[in-house]
With several copies, the nearest count.
Chain A
Amino acid sequence: MAQELGIPEFEGWIRAFAAAVAEHRDELTTLDSAIGDADHGTNMDRGMAAVVAALDGGPPADGAALFKLVGATLVSKVGGASGPLYGTFFLRLAGAGGSGPWDAGTVAKALRAGVEGVVARGKAEPGDKTMLDALLPACDALEAALAAGQPLADALGAAATAAVEGRDATKPLQARKGRASYLGERSIGHVDPGATSAALLVEAAATALVPAQG
């Protein structure tokens, strides 16, 4: 059982993500003011604060219920595109991860399902300068590391590194989705705020989704 994850780790991940969003709120908003409508930090912080408040009310029954709660709260509380995108991520994560304890394979499968939900919802492609530019490399790195036999903690570390690199790689890209797409070439030269919050999400996973030492 030492390699399995449950409510404490899941909750740790979500709370770590909420804390990171709160810490980086102004940075996200500044990034968004360059190419978006300057509300990404505020919106995500409002949504994750609502998630934390819901968790403070008592832990959900299992992982599926927990991530469904997170997704439903984000869908409802985050007004912009981030609401349905992050909300769909967690709703699909809940569905694919299921209610039992998760092992490394479940983590990879659930993350991939969440990211595919973001793809289906937003219809963005790699290189469109969106959160997917952090999430897709993270999934790939996680799966490759697990396939190479690395433990989950190391694999998640590789995923976080890939997410950060993917985030940074959005800087020279031209936006093709959302409000930033109106800017055309003027969106070039700014890191995408969605990819930035997505990297925070993967980094929080690397910190928190660590199986308790048995």
Chain B
Amino acid sequence: MPRVGLVVVSHSRPLAEAAVTLARQMLTGADVAVEVAAGTDDGGLGTDAFAISEAIAAADSGDGVVVLMDLGSAVLSAETALELLADDVRDRVLLSAGPLVEGLIGAVVVAAGGADRDRVAAEALRGLAPKQAHLGG
């Protein structure tokens, strides 16, 4: 069974940690590797490409990693982080344009169920679908 890892990149460490807590609450039994790279080292708001690359490496068990980010500059840092990773790890990483919180929740649930990386990434991308279906219908 694949073990896809997840990384939450946010400018805010409390935000990232609360999102992970909420997502993990959706799990019963199986757990998932979810790493956080968020905030500056002095506790402020920001991202750190080195911290992201370390989080990706920690989340990776060989079956791939899906990275969720909050803002545009978090995406820039995550892309920079990819350059800092070994080639084989980098090739397994997918940066998701999905919504941070909603995407994480769906991704965590399907990753815990043993979905492969592309399936986990697809679930992250369609994170808004339940809300859209309900409110748009």
Do A and B originate from a single complex? yes
Q: Which residues of A contact B (CB under 8 A)?
A: 33, 36-38, 43, 72, 75-81, 83-85, 87-88, 91, 121-123, 177-179, 181-183, 186
- Tell me whether B123 is interfacial, beta carbon within 8 Å: yes
Which residues in window 25-74 of B have CB below 8 A to A? 25-29, 40-41, 44-51, 72-73
Interface centre among B11, B26, B28, B109 (most CB of A within 10 A): B28
Query: Is the CB–CB distance between A37 and B49 below 8 Å?
Result: no
8 nearest A-B pairs in the assembled complex, by CB-CB distance? A79-B46, A81-B73, A84-B76, A84-B80, A182-B109, A75-B49, A33-B28, A38-B28
Q: Chain A contact residues: over half helix, strand or loop, or mixed?
A: helix
Known: A37-B25, A178-B72, A183-B113. A79 touches B49 (CB 8 A): no
CB neighbours of A79 from chain B (8 A): 11, 40, 44-48, 73
Residue pair A85, B76 in contact (C-beta under 8 Å): yes
Determine whether B118 belongs to the interface, using a CB cutoff of 8 Å to chain A: no
Contact A76 B26 (CB under 8 A): no
Contact, CB under 8 Å: B73 / A84: yes
Residues of A within 8 A of B103 (CB): none
- The interface centre, meaning the residue of B27, B44, B76 with most chain A CB atoms within 10 A of its CB, is B76
